[in-house]
Amino acid sequence: MTHNLVIQSLAPLSDAHHKPLLALSRGTRLVQTDDHALRIDNANPAQRLDIDAYCGTHALDFAFVEAGLALGDFGLVVMDMDSTLITIECIDEIADFCGLKTQVAEITEASMRGEIRDFNESLTRRVALLAGLDAQALERVYEERLQLSPGAETMLAGVKAAGMKTLLVSGGFTFFTERLKARLGLDYAQANTLEIVDGKLTGKVLGEIVNADVKARLLRETCASLGLAPNRAIAMGDGSNDLKMMAEAGLSVAFHAKPVVREAATVAFDHVGLDGLLRLF
């Protein structure tokens, strides 16, 4: 199997990178595909460590991609929400409205790094701290703080043009996923439901918690409903809760991710936006 090496940069790519990258990759031909990306044909994946070191020094992202692979060979893209499709962790911002952002964010970070093994416990602990908060805080987070990650809309337009379906699957909350589904024209969305009584958060989650196992199951079930094998899915995420669904997919993208996720993924985007997915093919 032959591979191409795709190099991407947030800033315009300098020609000065051409010769060293071609030599390091042991490829046969270099093509600058646009101002921010280049492709090296017949690159050697055994050179990954050298390429990683060079790209790390120069703020470049790289990916070894099977030659001839096209975006249209996949049928589904599955995305995490918090810190992947959007720039924030919604629960941390909700907690800010009751003065508990620091405490909640500490648990969030530990969970994403994989230091808290039980996601259900992590989420339950964090949501319990929100008890009594006016539910209007959710609307304020959505309107005032939630922003799409760079390249999100371009990426979504590209995958839709390729005939792919989209699934937003989140350990966050339906209040946000349902709004994003409608706003962005996503095909499917699944997340956790916060219990609200008399306009206040109760500090409880209703129903099944969307943890790593559930995310992986939703990827498999959605693929099955579409008549796709799981290896025709692309999974994108940033935290340890995404690892199992990423392992199910044919291509996994660690987006500005924790080290444990970056190491496990097929591709890591540390610098470019979500639209970097389109430049892989």
Quote the distance between the C-alpha of residue 200 and its chain's center.
31
Burial class (CB in 10 A: 0-12, 13-18, 19+), 132: exposed
Could you give the CA distance from residue 8 to residue 6 in angstroms, rounded to a whole number? 7
> b/e string for 8-32 if b means 16 or more Cβ within 10 A?
bbbeebeeebeeebbebbebeebee
Task: Respond yes or no: is residue 82 known to be catalytic.
Answer: yes
**Candidate list 34, 35, 80, 92, residue with the active-site label:** 80
- DSSP for 48-59? HHHHHHHHHHTT
Residues 6+ apart with CB under 8 A from 187: 165, 166, 167
Residues 6+ apart with CB under 8 A from 80: 169, 170, 171, 215, 236, 237, 238, 239, 241, 242, 255
Residues 6+ apart with CB under 8 A from 40: 4, 5, 7, 21, 22, 25, 27, 29, 30, 31
**Candidate list 15, 50, 61, 82, residue with the active-site label:** 82
What ranges in the chain are assigned the alpha helix state H?
Answer: 18-25, 48-57, 90-96, 101-112, 119-128, 136-140, 152-161, 174-184, 212-225, 243-248, 259-264
Question: In the Cβ-directed half-sphere of 76, how many Cα atoms lie within 13 Å?
Answer: 30
Task: Respond yes or no: is residue 187 known to be catalytic.
Answer: no
Residues acting as catalytic residues: 80, 82
